[in-house]
Amino acid sequence: MEILPGIHRIECPIATRYVAIYAIVGSASTLIIDTGFDGSIRETVIPYFKEKKLSLEAVKYAFNTHSDFDHTGGNKAVKEFMPNALICCGERDRAMIEDLQIMIDDRYGEFNHDHGFPDDPDTGAFVRAVAFETRIDIGFTGGERIDLGDRIVEVLHTPGHSWGHLSFLDEKTGAVIIGDAVLGDSVLHADGAPAFPPTYRFVEAYRASIRLLKGMNPTEVLTSHYPRYKGQDGIDFLDTSLAYTDLAERVALETITQAGGPITLAEIIEKCHDRLGPWENPAYTFLSYPLLGHLEVLEGYKKIKRGKNAQAIPTWSLA
């Protein structure tokens, strides 16, 4: 639906959740933010454009906010249906978006390879069934301003969930469209129930991105997997997200302290997941993303130290 003048939010189903794709329409051209799965473009976005009489030929930019397959999987379909669209992303996420195997190995396989988490052989097959690669036409680093005719959209570098994550400020309305740059205290199902933990990975960058967005005092915070947050609700969402990082860091340190000896990431999660959210197994294992980030921060503060157990899996203990 058109939620603000010239800004359309198109919710595309992904199992029990959705990914919101945004179209910002100017007098000269249109910009879309994220491409979902391949089916998101073919089955939801294209019919929406036709229903609302939006021009597919006017789409000049198709941005991926970051390197997750539910935000990049429709890139090939965009090239098919939107012939003038340039596929764009944050430069630091380019390699993972252009090569699904790199995304599967380095983004989703990090904890299997390095921390002894069980490997899921179905992950790669599922990713390849719903997402299709294409080359990135332009890599952005943040600070660019895009003229769509009667409106300017500023590109923001908001790392934390990924290193190259981009968000967007629509100068005409003051709304920010943030993809997964900020993730509250839980990712949600479509009905609003908690689905799995917030999967930020690079903690200090994530905190800085939240503060950057809050400092803009946005009129609305528009996300990929959450409801529309207007005014103070958007600021509250950002504050909740920042407070969660403090909770997670405190719980991680307390868990290591209580362990009394070296403990692996998987063991930390098993001991503390009920203090961080209401998710069931295996959803709570996604705490691997934020908790590893917090362990790295605590190492940097020299509050904990890293070792390895007999299986060469990293462990942590008090410094």
Do 49 and 143 fall into the same domain? yes
Q: What does the pLDDT read at residue 121?
A: 84
* Percent with pLDDT over 90 in the chain: 98
Give one DSSP letter per residue of 250-309, joined into a string: HHHHHHHHHH-S-EEHHHHHHHHHHHH--PPTTGGGGGHHHHHHHHHHHHHTTSEEEEE-
Do 136 and 202 fall into the same domain? yes
Residue 248 lies in a domain: no
Q: What does the pLDDT read at residue 119?
A: 85
Do 226 and 129 fall into the same domain? yes
Greater model confidence, 119 or 237: 237
Q: What does the pLDDT read at residue 194?
A: 98
- pLDDT level of residue 90 (50, 70, 90 thresholds): very high
Do 235 and 302 fall into the same domain? no
Q: What does the pLDDT read at residue 113?
A: 87
Neighbour tally for 119: CB within 10 Å = 12
Point out the domain boundary residue: 241, 269, 300. Answer: 241
Residue 312 lies in a domain: yes
Do 210 and 280 fall into the same domain? no
Instruction: Report the number of distinct structural domains present in the chain.
Output: 2
Contact assessment for residue 245 and residue 276, using Cβ atoms and an 8 Å cutoff: no
Read off the pLDDT of each residue in 162-185 and give the average, rounded to a whole number.
98
Residue 247 lies in a domain: no
Q: What does the pLDDT read at residue 120?
A: 85
Do 234 and 269 fall into the same domain? no
Q: What does the pLDDT read at residue 209?
A: 99
- 296 has pLDDT over 90: yes
Do 155 and 228 fall into the same domain? yes
- 20 has pLDDT over 90: yes
3-state secondary structure 35-98: CCCHHHHHHHHHHHHHHCCCCCCCEEEEEECCCCHHHHCCHHHHHHHCCCCEEEEEHHHHHHHH
Task: State pLDDT tens for residues 56-88.
Answer: 999 999 999 999 999 999 999 999 999 999 999
Say which CATH number the domain at 232 has. Answer: 3.60.15.10
Rounded to whole angstroms, the Cα distance separating 183 from 238 reads 8
Do 300 and 269 fall into the same domain? yes
* Residue numbers of the domain that contains 281: 258-318
Do 161 and 283 fall into the same domain? no
Point out the domain boundary residue: 181, 215, 241. Answer: 241
Residue 252 lies in a domain: no
Point out the domain boundary residue: 241, 274, 299. Answer: 241
Q: What does the pLDDT read at residue 75?
A: 98
Mean pLDDT score across all residues of the chain? 97
Do 193 and 107 fall into the same domain? yes
Do 203 and 273 fall into the same domain? no
- 164 has pLDDT over 90: yes
Residue 150 lies in a domain: yes
Residue 161 lies in a domain: yes
Do 203 and 83 fall into the same domain? yes
Task: State pLDDT tens for residues 94-149.
Answer: 999 999 999 999 999 999 989 999 988 899 999 999 999 999 999 999 999 999 99
pTM to 2 decimals?
0.97
Rounded to whole angstroms, the Cα distance separating 305 from 110 reads 20
Read off the pLDDT of each residue in 148-160 and give the average, rounded to a whole number.
98
Read off the pLDDT of each residue in 254-268 and give the average, rounded to a whole number.
97
